Every structure is written in C-alpha cells, then in structure tokens.
Amino acid sequence: MKKQVQPLSRFTRLIHPMPAFLVSCAGEDGKPNAIAIAWLTPVSIDPPLVAFAIHPRRHSYQMLQENPSFVVNVMSYGQAPEVLFCGRCSGRDEDKFAQADLTAVEAVSVTAPAIEEALAHVECEVEAQHSVGDHVLVVGRVRAVSAAEGALVAGFRDLVARPPLFHVGADRFTTTSGDVMNPGTQRDDA
C-alpha cells in the first residue's frame, strides 16, 4: 500500500480517535473546573494508575499544583457539546460548570469535584508529573471508582445504552456506531 507523506502536525489525527473525558479539579479557592482530555490512558493495574497529558499553561494544570487531585469523568457520545465547550474555553475566564450546565458533586475520596452528569468517575490523587515536550504527563493514583447503574453489563461497559465518546480531532467526535458529530458547527448553527 503506497503512503503519502503528511505534515508532522497531523500525527495525532492518525492515532485518533481517542476516548474523550472531562477531567475535573479545583484550586485552593474550591471553584470547580473541567478540562477536555483525550490524551489519557491507564498505565498500571497494581497500583492502579492513570496518566494524561496537559499543557502547563492550562488553568487546570495550575489548579492541580494547588490541589493535587482530580476526577476523570467518563462522558457519553451525547455529551460531546459539553466536552467541546469545556475544551474550548479557559476556567480562568468562564464558569464552565454553569455555562455547560454541569453539576459539581463531592467526590467519594478526593478533594476534587466530580460531574454528576458523567457516566462514571475515576477519582485520583496526583502521584507524579513528568515534563514531556510541550506537555506535562500527570500520573494519578486511582482512589475510588463509581459508575451509574447499568453502565457495566457482566463487568464490561455497555456500549449501546451509553455510547462512548471518541475525539477524532478539532471539533469532531465519533462513537462505536461510526456516527460523527461536529458540535462546534451545530452550536454555531443554532
């Protein structure tokens, strides 16, 4: 199969789609914030660790320095507009929870807020941080996990009832059915 050379900047588009999450946190003032993250992965089962990449200029990164805990909020395909909104603006300037119509709730084991509308929560404390190019890799130790009733069927995620959300790139999202949504365009057309 013949290949065409692509610009280096497109490397992420070739490894996408990636699951998209909202990572919630709060700084010293306790104000909740959420950032859209697609560069997130489990990195260890024992101990349970997840890692995600974040640019150090992001407001959420500064909040993690003040309060080293976060919640990975598992969102479904229908929540792409909320995820896109939280990825497009800064919590320095916007109350993302209020504007995206999200509800901050107390987490079970960490001081960061969870998002009530999320399908599931993975609560973490920051275990380590590593500078990697223009981003920081934040490693979190999982402290608690919770999921909506019916989210798991026989121990596996129900992909039909609440289809997963995958980020394709830019404003585009997809799910396991292959449907593609561009909520940035939809929001602008409304």
Residue-number span of the structural domain to which 177 is assigned:
16-189
> Phi and psi at residue 188, in whole multiples of 5°?
-65, -30
Residue 180's pLDDT is what? 93
Residue type, 31: K
Residue 187's pLDDT is what? 38
Residue type, 107: A
Please say if the pLDDT value at position 190 is more than 50. no
Residue 112, in any domain of the structure: yes
Q: What CA–CA distance (Å, rounded) separates 178 from 164?
A: 11
Residue 7, in any domain of the structure: no
Q: What CA–CA distance (Å, rounded) separates 95 from 69?
A: 19
Please say if the pLDDT value at position 9 is more than 60. yes
Residue 2, in any domain of the structure: no
Distances in whole angstroms, Cα of residue 2 to Cα of each of 5, 38: 10, 29
Residue 76, in any domain of the structure: yes
Residue 54, sorted as left (phi over 0), alpha (psi -120 to 50) or beta, turns out to be beta
Residue 3, in any domain of the structure: no
**Banded pLDDT at 184 (limits 50, 70, 90):** confident
Q: Looking at the DSSP assignment, which residues form a beta bridge with residue 130? A: 137
Residue 24, in any domain of the structure: yes
Residue 4, in any domain of the structure: no
For residue range 42-101, list pLDDT tens digits in order: 999 999 999 999 999 999 999 999 999 999 999 999 999 999 999 999 999 999 999 999
**Stretch 35-44: mean pLDDT, rounded?**
97
Query: Structure pTM?
Result: 0.94
Number of domains in the chain: 1
Domain with 48 in it: what CATH number?
2.30.110.10
The more confident residue out of 188 and 160 is: 160
Residue 114, in any domain of the structure: yes
For residue range 88-139, list pLDDT tens digits in order: 999 999 999 999 999 999 999 999 999 999 999 999 999 999 999 999 999 9
Residue 123's pLDDT is what? 98
